Amino acid sequence: MSRPGSYAGSEAPSEVPADDTWHSRSIEDVYDDLETSEAGLGSEDAGRRLDREGPNEIEAEGGISPLAILVEQYKPALIWVLIVAAAVMAFVGHAIDAAVIAVVVVFITLFGFVQDYRAEQSIAALRELSTTHALVRRDGERTEIDARNVVPGDVIFVESGDIVPADARIIEESNLSVDESALTGESVGVSKEVDVLERDTSLAERTNVLYKDTVVERGSGTGVVVGTGTDTEIGRIATALEEAEERDTPFQTEMDRLGRLIALGVVGVVSVIAVTELVIGDTPPLQVFLTAVGVAVSAVPEGLPAVVTLSLALGARRMAEKNALVRRLPIVEALGSVDVICTDKTGTLTEEEMTVTRLYADHEVYEVTGTGYDVDGEFRRNGEPVDAERLTELLRCGMACNNVEIGRRERDGGSDRTYLGDPTEIALFVAAQKAGFDHDELDGEYPRIGEVDFTSARKRMTTLHLTPDGERVAYMKGAPEVVLDRCDREVVDGEVVELSDDRRSALEERTESFAADALRVMGFAYRPDAPEEASERLEEGMVFLGLQGMFDPPRPEVPGAIEACLNAGIDVVMITGDNAVTARAVGEEVGIDSPRVVTGPEIDAMSDEELADVVDEVAVFARTSPEHKTRILQTLQGKGHTVAMTGDGVNDAPAVKNADVGVAMGIRGTDVTEQASDIVLLDDNFATIRDAVHGGRRIFDNVRKFVNYLLSGNGGEVTMIFTGSMVGLGLVITPVQILWINVVTDGIPALSLGVDPAAEDAMDRPPRPPGEGVITKRIVTSIVGISLFMTVCLLPLFTLNYFGELVPGYDVTGALVGWSPGYEPSRELAQTMVFTGFVVFEIVRLQAIRFRYGLGLLSNPWLVLAVAVAVVLQLLVLYTPTGQLLFGVEPLEPIHWAQIAVVATAFALLMAVFVKVQDRYFDRY
């Protein structure tokens, strides 16, 4: 009998319901809604559905073209300020200077292009996950078709090793287990079943649904397709990933704002000079134009973009050495402002290596030491080491009734010996090894001659073995309540005794106490004199051996890392798909204190306002789906937090991409999540996030230093030129000299500031407020103060060496000639003095800016070298014919250096007093 819409030939339904409740419906209701049946679809019906629904593939919207990405690099205002500066320099005939600026512009834009182009590959990675073929029932027969042609209503068949072609409601299964780690990030396979589930069952617990692009680990199954293409779970993730808002980091936003301010400032200052000189004064138009060029060039920090880019790149390289691979350079700075870290549990806070930590046998509880897959460990009772002999049968059962193999896993071009199998079984295997069991020897002494497979319905597994005496013995493991139901005896003091009702109740209570401590508990039993046939008859009249409780232990370095984050004012929030009991236990182990645990269904029941009230108080969320993760993230961001979000499965990609700092797992993570992230943890370790935040704060401090350093230098140049013009001195320093200072003698030391060591209190202060950028009130006053002090100190040098007098009517030329025969004041000499004075002042400026970070003069060897190089280059300009010709300078005599030393000392004293005043009125940072 066929249903309407089945292969018997009726019209396809007008619309397939877009629904997320297939797991809570009976098979009959699913058939009715999809207008199909267990017989599948007919070819014509399937064709009509394919035309209406579209192919079963994840189609991303057309990505940004390479040309569009390149054009995007030219949008920042600072880039256009540099382009205009280059054009101006070319217009006035300074081709070399124009070429230098142009090269800087090309470097910055090309570097940005490469980074952004790589970031656009995440959707392509999703498409590459699609399968090629699917086995369906068409026209009443099993038919292999192109997976892109699967439609809702198709009946599909999957078996071990298959990649699921579409989302499907399971209608039949046999020992079916599916690896959903690519979707959920959880490494333990999910046993599937046919039963109807509750409507509010979380995604990770929907055991009656198959998801597109997950992998069948074991068994086989049949399902009816309920979603294809973008209507699948992975398709919805792809859509969310496309719609994820591209967020600029605060630093990117501030650099754009700074560029616009500089551009406006240039226009304003040039306008004032032009009006003053042309309308009020009688300066020739050519001189006004040259002054305007000088102001424009002096106002533009030509070296800043290159210094920022290279400094971030150096910081990223240091972080890579500590297992944090940075994919977007600006995010390095954003790390320093993170005040909330949302982290996974499995593999990030924990080892992702299930470990047996507690045993129950012979009416006693035993602790097992050691973590992960390390076979070093001992057995203890009440804290005292004990001989494992009393646990022999329990541990032998755990290793014998087990399908783990020791093999090799390819990694980084090589291979390592490792355990291959289910994580739960590996934990049992390792526990037996700690007691001295050897798998090969056990297999030789107790060869397996039969097996009754584990299934999600049976919740147990039984193996049949020959003993060394030639007898048969059966070993069983499974859910404790299931194992107990098949036992009528137990082992006590090495003797088999009757399992009384009281003892049965006591064992159930013991199981509950293990589970309450977040342990995954398994029961074990055996049957001597077992029958020959490996069937469920083996599982009658079993003898109970005991319990083994296992736990995915926290990484040993994680508690310290979380404590460091909390001390640094960073809240740590755990968001996991695991149950609330386990989540709370892990949180307590690692130091994440939460007044309560909020689950996914509770989040669904909350309004946005209610969730906003919760997120600042609750630090542990359990049984969450990808949508919950994204909602928690957006709620935190809406409250002004800067959030780092970790993720590994495909389902985490939207949240990772929407986060202020998206962090992917390098070992467990999928390619899609890595492409959507800003940082990839090469060791999947939370402690690496702590190190990355520390590195981010160091980099941000250094960015502030060189921004302060470069802009104060530019401010001094603008103030000098503006003041000189206003008092009738003309151009006190030439554009080419300014360019040399900005790009070379200031640029090289600024670059070395990027490798300044971290301040000792980098992780002892709270994150900077969300609205606080690189340039604070203290830095503004620093830039203004340094600019004014430089002008006050250098302007007298100019007048002295141009007019021969400090003030009109006081001629000091004769005295100077006495010190330096042949001394003759001139504009070129005066400009040379100002030019060199700016270079010498850089040493004073550097230490004044670094002083508040507690850094000494010699704490950064690269900075010492950079200053030395800058001084040597300046001397080459002053004392070589080529330098004198290109830069229009005169060689300086000892008397000139003495003058510079005097004003430099005065500048240093002014700066020392100024820093003390700043400390009184502003925060240190």
Catalytic positions, please?
A: 344
Q: Give the residue ranges of DSSP H helices in 681-734.
A: 686-726
Element (H, E) at 764: none
Helix (H) or strand (E) holding 267: helix 250-275
Instruction: Identify the burial level of 746 via C-beta atoms within 10 angstroms of its C-beta, where 0-12 means exposed, 13-18 middle and 19 or more buried.
Output: buried
The residue assigned the tokens 């390619």 is 671
HEC per residue, 436-483: CCCHHHHHHHCCEEEEECCCCCCCEEEEEEECCCCCEEEEEEECHHHH
**Run of H or E residues at 424:** helix 423-434
Please enumerate in sequence order all residues whose Cβ is within 8 A of that of 18, keeping only pairs 6 or more positions apart, or say none: 231
Rounded Cα distance, 676 and 655, in Å: 9
* Region for residue 335 given its phi and psi (left: phi exceeds 0; alpha: psi -120 to 50; beta: otherwise): alpha
Residue 759 has φ and ψ, to the nearest 5°, of -65, 145
Whose structure tokens read 């209406």?
52
Q: Which residues contact 901 (CB under 8 A, 6 or more apart)?
A: none
- What does the alpha-carbon distance between residue 35 and residue 154 come to, in Å, rounded to a whole number? 10
Amino acid at residue number 406: I
Q: Which two tokens stand for residue 307?
A: 């210094």
CA distances from 182 to 129, 223, 301, 578, 912 (A): 10, 20, 47, 16, 59
766 burial via Cβ count (<10 Å: 0-12, 13-18, 19+)? exposed
Residues 563 and 591: beta-carbon distance below 8 Å: yes
User: Could you give the CA distance from residue 209 to residue 190 in angstroms, rounded to a whole number?
Assistant: 11
Task: Catalogue the E-assigned strands of 577-632.
Answer: 597-599, 620-622
Nearest CA to 399 among 178, 548, 610?
548
Do residues 748 and 850 make contact, with C-beta atoms less than 8 angstroms apart?
Answer: no
Helices (H) and strands (E) in the chain, counts: 33, 28
Estimate to the nearest angstrom the gap between the alpha carbon of 376 and the chain centroid.
34
Q: Which phi-psi region, left, alpha or beta, contains residue 684 (left: φ > 0; alpha: ψ -120 to 50)?
A: left
Q: Return d(Cα 624, Cα 585) in angstroms, integer.
A: 17
Amino acid making up residue 179 = D
Cα gap 8→496, rounded to integer Å? 61
CB 483 within 8 A of CB 460: yes
Residues 530 and 486: beta-carbon distance below 8 Å: no
